[in-house]
């Protein structure tokens, strides 16, 4: 029930098995949402508010959360996966990789869907919209070859230049009496004055670096 289920019912109307339903929802996200560069951090993932307002813009924690929510509303297991990009893309996408070894602002939320014949399958419709907005020269059309290739690759695959932290929601920080976090993807710090702004690393004073090592 509710707007999420009502929306997903419209999207999957006439579709047969779970794979067809998930693909229809993936395509709907790509066609109907947009990446909003003004969104702080990776977004907050309030999908009911997005659907009620009709404003389907945001970043990865919004767009992939909407994808996950729509899939779950059809009774298909799905989850957000929170992590960090740590390397440039080897697939030729400037927008889908770390730009340097400083990855302080390279957080990224991906998604997975459980399909009975395959297990947990990686998917990332939000990154398709990132390619549309950010891949040079920018503001690409959906039929641009770079977008078409990303759209195909990110239904069932991820590039390995990213690693996952967790799949948790409503995270309660140890020793902190404040409200739960919707997800844990950024460093968090609490002082006597309260919780610091995790989306402002310059005043928070944290830096994240990545390095490739030989094994």
- The pair of structure tokens assigned to 177 is 């009496």
Q: Which pLDDT tens digits describe the chain residue by residue (215 residues)? A: 599 999 999 999 999 999 999 999 999 999 999 999 999 999 999 999 999 999 999 999 999 999 999 999 999 999 999 999 999 999 999 999 999 999 999 999 999 999 999 999 999 999 999 999 999 999 999 999 999 999 999 999 999 999 999 999 999 998 888 889 999 999 998 888 888 888 888 877 889 999 999 98
- What's residue 57's pLDDT? 98
Q: Helices 18-32 and 60-72 sit at what angle, rounded to 10 degrees?
A: 150
- What's residue 120's pLDDT? 98
Report helix, strand or coil for 53.
helix
Nearest to 90 by CA among 150, 160, 138: 160
Domains recognised in the chain with CATH numbers: 2-166 (3.10.620)
Summarize the chain as % helix, strand, coil (round to 5). Answer: 35, 20, 50
C-alpha dihedral (64, 66, 67, 71), degrees to nearest 10? 140
Which runs of E-coded beta strand occur in the chain? 34-35, 57-58, 78-85, 107-115, 119-123, 162-166, 190-191, 194-195
- What's residue 1's pLDDT? 59
- The pair of structure tokens assigned to 131 is 């390619």
């Amino acid at each position: 029930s509710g707007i999420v289920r009502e929306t997903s019912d419209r999207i999957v109307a006439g579709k047969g098995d779970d794979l067809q339903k998930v693909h229809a929802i993936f395509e709907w996200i790509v066609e109907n949402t947009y990446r909003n560069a003004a969104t702080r951090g990776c977004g907050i993932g309030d999908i009911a508010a997005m659907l009620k307002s009709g404003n389907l813009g945001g970043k990865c924690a919004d767009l992939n959360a909407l994808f996950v929510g729509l899939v779950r509303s059809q009774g298909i297991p799905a989850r957000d996966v929170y992590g960090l990009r740590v390397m440039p893309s080897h697939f030729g996408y400037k927008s889908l990789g770390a730009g340097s070894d400083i990855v302080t602002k390279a957080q990224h939320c991906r998604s997975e869907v459980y399909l009975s014949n395959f297990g947990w399958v990686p998917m990332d419709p939000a990154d398709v919209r990132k390619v549309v907005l950010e891949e040079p020269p920018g503001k690409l059309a959906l039929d641009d070859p770079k977008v078409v290739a990303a759209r195909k690759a990110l239904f069932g695959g991820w590039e390995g230049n990213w690693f996952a932290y967790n799949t948790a929601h409503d995270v309660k920080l140890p020793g902190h009496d404040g409200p739960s976090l919707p997800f844990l993807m950024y460093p968090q710090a609490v002082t006597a004055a309260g919780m610091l702004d995790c989306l402002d690393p310059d005043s928070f004073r944290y830096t994240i670096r990545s390095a490739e090592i030989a094994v």
